Amino acid sequence: MGTIFRYALSKSRGAILGWGLGLLALGLLIVPIFDTIAEQADQIGQLMDIYPAEIFEFFGGLSDFSTPEGFLSIEYFSFLPIILGIYVISLASGLFASDEESGRLDLMVAHPLSRTAFFFGRVGALLVTLVAILTIGWLGLGLPSSAMESFSLGMGELVPPFLSLLAILLIFASLALLLSMILPSRRAASMVSVLLLVAGFFIEGLSGINADLEPLAKWLPLRYYQGGDAFNGLNWTWLGGLIGFSLLFILLAWWRFQRRDIRVAGEGSLPFLNRIRRVRRKNQRAAVR
């Protein structure tokens, strides 16, 4: 398993550097802007009073731009689940399905290595990749903030929002992985997972405006993403729930992988479609006779 883990992690070096340095640059750019925002807090507040309250309810309410917590909550942590979520869904849905569709997976599992070791070696590399990207992003916020007297957040205080972000990314990554073991192609698994992510984002935002959406929003993972609210205290129940469901999805994906008939190449099809095709062919042969 160690060899699989190291090989899969080495293939992710480009992604770690690309996404990690992107988050690092984002943090280095937005943290110094805080001084300007804080100085103009009154003018910004007057400007925001002009806009309808529903606009701010979509993003979980209006945070105080003059505080580092409120500033980062809106300018940084509010949109990262969507941006990084699409990436991790693409990564997780293709963790095994991309090699299967290209015809490589059948050759890989033919080696004298258990499927369990192969599975968890790659999944472990995926988890380390996510942690590495977020760690670099954390440094991107922490390094400039420690050099600014007006930015009162220390390195340790920046950890809780990143833990909440990691948990929400894990649940969508594990869901995409599970769907790639169930649905006939990586494309289908990725499409369904992204649809759930984007739909959840809009339903959660609109639930603050339309109370009829509240019962549905309670069943979606993004309801339990704290983001910048974690500065005021991390909800360990929410965090544990997200991680618990992520582990459940990973175990179910492992169970499916253990019993999976790996294709030689190409995309598969849904079982009920195969049955329909067999019935049609049987009927056609009967009609010919």
Render pLDDT for 239-282 as a digit per residue (tens, 0 to 9).
999 999 999 999 999 999 888 777 665 555 555 455 555 556 66
Quickly state the pLDDT bin for 201 (edges 50, 70, 90): confident
Instruction: Express as a percent the part of the chain with pLDDT over 70.
Output: 80
Which residues 6+ apart lie within 8 Å of 33 measured at CB?
A: none
Estimate to the nearest angstrom the gap between the alpha carbon of 55 and the chain centroid.
24
The predicted-structure confidence for 95-131, as pLDDT tens digits, reads as follows 988 888 888 887 777 777 788 888 999 999 999 999 9
Instruction: Provide, rounded to the nearest whole percent, the portion of the chain with pLDDT above 90.
Output: 37
Q: Which is nearest to 27 in space by CA: 134, 141, 132?
A: 141
**Is pLDDT above 50 for 207?**
yes
Tell me the two tokens of residue 53: 């309250």
- Which range in 23-37, 147-161, 184-198, 199-213 is most confidently predicted, on average pLDDT? 184-198
3-state secondary structure at position 266: coil
The pLDDT of residue 255 is 94
Q: Which amino acid is at 80?
A: L
Contact 71, 77 (CB under 8 A): no
Tell me the pLDDT band of 208, cut-offs 50, 70 and 90: confident
- Provide the terminal-to-terminal Cα distance of the chain, rounded to the nearest Å: 55
Work out whether the CA dihedral 116, 119, 121, 126 comes out positive or negative: negative
Single-letter amino acid, residue 242: L
Give pLDDT, residue 272.
Answer: 47
Closest Cα partner for 78 from 54, 53, 61, 90? 61
Distances (CA, A) of 97 to 84, 119, 133, 139, 149: 20, 12, 23, 33, 49
Q: Looking up tokens 């109370």, which residue turns up?
A: 211
Region of poorest pLDDT, from 33-37, 88-92, 115-119, 179-183 = 33-37
Instruction: List the single range of 41-50, 111-120, 127-136, 196-205 with lowest mean pLDDT.
Output: 41-50
> Is residue 142 within a helix (H) or strand (E), and if so which, with residue range?
helix 115-146
56 closest CA partner among 220, 237, 206? 206
Q: Please give the average per-residue pLDDT across 1-18, as a whole number.
A: 87
Distance CA 89, CA 120 (A): 17
Q: Summarize pLDDT for 210-221 with one digit per residue, the tens.
A: 778 888 888 999
